[in-house]
Amino acid sequence: MTTEIRPPESPSSPEPPGRGVHSPGRAAISARHLRTDRWWVPQLATGLGLLAFIVYSTWRAFWGLHTSYAAPYVSPFYSPCLAANCPDMPGGADWALFGSWWRISPALIVLIFPLGFRMTCYYYRKAYYRAFWSSPPACAVAEPHAKYSGETRFPLVLQNIHRYFFYFAIVVAGILTYDAALGFRNPAGQWGHAGLGTLVLLVNIGLIWAYTLSCHSCRHIVGGRLKHFSKHPVRYRMWSFVGKLNARHMQLAWASLISVGVADLYVYLVASGAFSDPRFF
């Protein structure tokens, strides 16, 4: 017995060609998705997490100048403080590149570089594209947009400056490392101090360095454009180390984002007199 296979019949009134995921050549699936799990939970959690940090950092950037320094701790949102209206921080006069004419928050001068680095980061692009723009909402879930141009047009084409923000991020991380070292001095400026704030700043800068070095741009700078790793053993070892960090780029992105917020919050609480910094020695 043979089975006759007939071609599918053409519909009598074909639908007009659509756009986006319903354009000709794409799989003709009427359902928005075939997933049965709660795919929207990670999207919602990511959106809420990013929104919470945006609200907190905006509040601290505009209205946190008077609580940005609690000797010997400096908030990472205000370091280095580049305006004359900064508190009496160590080396404040040396960093005051903007004179008394600068009336708005000094944090706006500093935050543009680490925030620019994070906003153009490959992982954060994925995070806020999905959470806020639904582009796409999740894997195997069709995006609601009629067309897709990717990052080839303005303003998303500006994402390509991520590699340049990386260099600024290295400078900022170096300055925050200096601030963490200052955490070993007491309010009088003498070395030999260690408090809970010292530990908070050390953990923060450790996570910031790990996140910065796990960047895809760093991985390319270290090991890119090489034809033979065997001829560059040092760069190969560096590339391998960065590659291991890169595999944890998402986790490091969230951990460093939380740690920088916690470090700023700790300085705020100490500076506002909510509690005194516990000393270890």
pLDDT in tens, the chain (281 residues): 554 544 444 444 444 555 666 677 766 767 777 788 999 999 999 999 999 999 999 999 999 999 999 989 999 999 888 887 777 776 555 566 777 777 788 898 889 999 999 999 999 999 999 999 888 888 888 877 777 777 888 888 889 999 999 999 999 999 999 999 999 988 777 888 899 999 999 999 999 999 999 999 999 999 888 888 888 999 999 999 999 999 999 999 999 999 999 999 999 999 999 999 999 88
Q: Is the peptide bond preceding residue 278 cis, with omega within 30 degrees of 0?
A: no
pLDDT at 90: 61
All residues at 6 or more sequence positions from 94 whose CB lies less than 8 Å from its CB, including other chains? none
- pLDDT (0 to 100) of residue 152: 84
Residue 73: partners with Cβ closer than 8 Å, 6 or more residues away = 179, 182, 183, 197, 198, 200, 201, 266, 267, 270, 277
Q: How far apart are CA 182 and CA 177, in angstroms?
A: 9
What is the reported pLDDT for 151? 84
